[in-house]
Amino acid sequence: MISKIREKVNRFIASEMENHGVSGIGTSHGDIFYALFKTPRLTMADIARRINKDKSTVTALVDKLVRLGYVTKERDREDSRIVYAALTPKGAGLQPIFESISKDMLDVFYLNVTEKEKQDLLNVLKKIYGNF
């Protein structure tokens, strides 16, 4: 059931992105944007830790965002092994769109769900997460 919900949520997000004129970005890029909205310049390792993905996955996702003009990459001047990612003005301009889509998604997600049911759901999901 969770995978079916995730699939529907991803379709909802993709549709809303398209409605806002944003194309080429997958839902997998969302975590990177949110990390960079919170902290506008991060190392690739920091992004990987924050979004719980391996560095090679983050590198591939960020590289696509660089090609699309949403993010820049630059090497550290003192240690060339360290690579920073930062939002471009075009990338930063997506923040209000992402926030709007996120709000709309949560409105749909919790439609007809009581506050008690939300809390119960959160508690059950925390238990399931803790099992792993």
CA separation for the pair 72, 74 (Å, rounded): 7
CA separation for the pair 22, 94 (Å, rounded): 9
pLDDT per position in the chain (132 positions), as tens?
Answer: 889 999 999 999 999 999 999 988 988 899 999 999 999 899 999 999 999 999 999 999 999 999 999 999 999 899 989 999 999 999 999 999 999 999 999 999 999 999 999 999 999 999 999 999
Q: For residue 29, what are the domain limits?
A: 2-131
Count the residues in the chain. Answer: 132
Total structural domains within the chain? 1
Task: Read off the CATH number of the domain in which 84 is found.
Answer: 1.10.10.10
